[in-house]
């Protein structure tokens, strides 16, 4: 049996999403020094890439963790400037009960995609 590796199709919106998230972070006063903790599972690799690129453009250091990581509580206790998390990551962060500024996909959280969409008007 011959197995051929097929690379995923690149997200045609990647650049626009990065621009919009970067603008959203800046307008929220989150640019500059500090750390962004990105908590995403493998199913949200594209979101992780967008978050990482946007953080780098705003001058934030990036720490990436899987939601199941044993290091999550420790990472949150270091008080990152902001946390961006997928649905699974958001649930896990909420379960830790560690206070943080988070954009995610969980009840009571500011929605990550809305942060992008609200600032997508100038993306090109």
Instruction: Write down the pLDDT at residue 10.
Output: 59
Q: How far apart are CA 28 and CA 77, in angstroms?
A: 22
Which residues are CB-neighbours of 120 under 8 A, at least 6 positions away? 16, 17, 20
Per-residue DSSP letter, 10 = P
pLDDT tens-place values along the chain, 124 residues long: 444 444 454 577 888 999 999 999 998 898 887 999 999 998 888 899 999 999 999 999 999 999 999 999 999 999 999 999 999 999 999 999 999 999 998 888 888 878 888 877 654 4
The CA-atom distances, in angstroms, between 30 and each of 14, 33, 45, 79, 115 are 21, 8, 22, 13, 12
Token couple for 36: 């962004």
Neighbours of 11 (CB within 10 A): 14
DSSP 42: G
Q: pTM of the full predicted structure?
A: 0.83
| Dihedral sign computed on CA atoms, order 46, 48, 49, 53 | positive
Spatial neighbors of 13 by CB under 8 A, at least 6 apart, are none
């Amino acid at each position: 049996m011959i197995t051929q590796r097929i690379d995923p199709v690149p997200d045609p919106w990647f650049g626009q999403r990065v621009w919009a998230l970067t603008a959203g972070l800046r307008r929220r006063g989150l640019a500059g020094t500090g750390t962004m903790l990105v908590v995403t599972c493998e199913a949200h690799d594209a979101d992780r890439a967008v978050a990482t690129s946007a953080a780098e453009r705003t001058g934030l250091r990036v720490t990436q963790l899987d939601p199941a990581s044993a290091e999550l509580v420790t990472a949150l206790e270091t008080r990152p400037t902001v946390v961006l998390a997928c649905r699974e990551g958001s649930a896990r962060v909420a379960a830790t009960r560690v206070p943080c500024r988070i954009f995610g996909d969980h009840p009571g959280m500011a929605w990550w995609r809305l942060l992008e969409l609200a600032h997508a008007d100038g993306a090109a």
